[in-house]
A and B are shown apart, each in its own frame.
Chain A
């Protein structure tokens, strides 16, 4: 009887230690690495689009054209990433920034688990146009 009790507690300890160990390992592995690289990827994409003049080119395009342009660029992100972008273009008129155009494009958006928001400002100041692009990148 005594031997049986000792054996049972021993086993219980072994199981609890194993459980704790597995939980710790699992927690360690569960640190969401995409928290690091998702914003970096978003910033790189937005910086590239700005520097090669994609955002300012949207100013002169019609809304369907602009949406097609954005969708084409968003489709270049890796397949496991969902991208959603809104670009608002304002014009300085009569002492205020008036919304001239709002373009929305999305690529492969399905129930994300991690997401990041990136904003980028751009301007065609000599023609009084100013814009803000907002990108939401998410990872399944």
Chain B
């Protein structure tokens, strides 16, 4: 009798332990599968986000990188087509041919409102200094760095602007960069800096033939509407490239640097060295990619 009771009790105990073990195992497996699905969806969202961001970079030909206290912008001027139209087509393409029903993509304005990709801003903003980099329009015939404040006071946050203008289909036709040039490279009207209102700029030019010219001065008066004129030549024309330095009268409203490119194709590399690492950049728009059936999304400046 006692043996039978012990036997029954042991059996019940073993079965209970087994039941609990399997219940626990089942819960764990379900949770693992859920986590795995979440990880996979997150990966998909992240890859889709960077996929679209890369294409926007490609369509705008503008690439921005930020490190410590510097920000570098690699740009190509002008655009063969209106970038706004290209972006509009791209937005239509991803909606109709690329996106699967489980994903949704939105472009958001700086205030977070949904917008069309064709309405994307042609300027990006370095905050909190309100320093803008951008173009008059998406044909990108000019590019400027300027401040929103008319006095250009926020430019004092910049230790130095390194700007390299590389002509890819024209060549420098001025001395000393090109000994056969008819005019000096350093012409125009520029006011060098005094004790205040300084704009630090290291401006250099190069071309596809290897000619190179570096403007000898790098401190300018930001309240004076200065202009540097550089003579260049290509197969069809011999013209001047204008770089406004100081108080801007055309593009932008404040002080800074503006390149009126127009015809030559320019690879423009601009590096801003700031006096702090405490800054951030509002790019052209915010891109939001969401997984429709999961609470997973990525929203960031693109």
Contacts and interface: CB of A to CB of B under 8 A. Distances in A.
A47 B39 CA distance: 19
A40 B42 CA distance: 11
B111 interface: no
Interface in A1-53: 6, 9, 13, 17, 20, 24, 27, 31, 35-36, 39-40, 43, 46-47, 50-51
B162 interface: no
Contact of B18 (A17, A36, A125, A126): A17
Interface stretch (A59-67, A73-81, A103-111, A116-124): A116-124
B189 interface: no
Given A90-B93, A121-B55, A47 B47 contact: yes
Given A20-B18, A121-B98, A125-B58, A40 B93 contact: no
B31 interface: no
Interface string A80-124: 000000001010100001000000000000000000001111110
Contacts of B22: 20, 24
B93 A126 contact: no
Given A17-B14, A121-B98, A132-B98, A36 B39 contact: yes
A20 B59 CA distance: 59
B238 interface: no
A50 B39 CA distance: 23
Given A43-B47, A92-B89, A126-B86, A121 B94 contact: yes
Contacts of A125: 55, 58-59, 81, 86-87, 89-90
A130 B32 contact: no
B96 A97 contact: yes
A92 B40 CA distance: 33
Contacts, number: 78
B292 interface: no
A57 interface: no
A20 B22 CA distance: 9
B67 to A, nearest CB: 20
A39 B46 CA distance: 12
| Residue from B14, B25, B55, B79 with most neighbouring chain A CB atoms (10 Å) | B55
Given A97-B97, A119-B98, A130 B51 contact: no
Interface residues of B, number: 37
A130 B90 contact: yes
A132 B80 CA distance: 23
A128 B80 CA distance: 12
B23 interface: no
B296 interface: no
B50 to A, nearest CB: 7
Contacts of A47: 47, 50-51
B74 to A, nearest CB: 15
Contact of B51 (A13, A36, A40, A121): A121
B217 interface: no
Contacts of A24: 21-22, 25
B11 interface: yes
A122 B55 contact: yes
Given A17-B18, A92-B89, A40 B59 contact: no
Contacts of A123: 55, 58-59, 90, 93
20 contacts: A6-B3, A6-B7, A20-B22, A24-B21, A36-B39, A43-B43, A43-B47, A51-B54, A121-B52, A122-B55, A123-B90, A125-B81, A125-B86, A125-B87, A125-B90, A126-B59, A126-B79, A126-B86, A130-B89, A132-B98
Interface of A: 6, 9, 13, 17, 20, 24, 27, 31, 35-36, 39-40, 43, 46-47, 50-51, 88, 90, 92, 97, 118-123, 125-126, 128, 130, 132
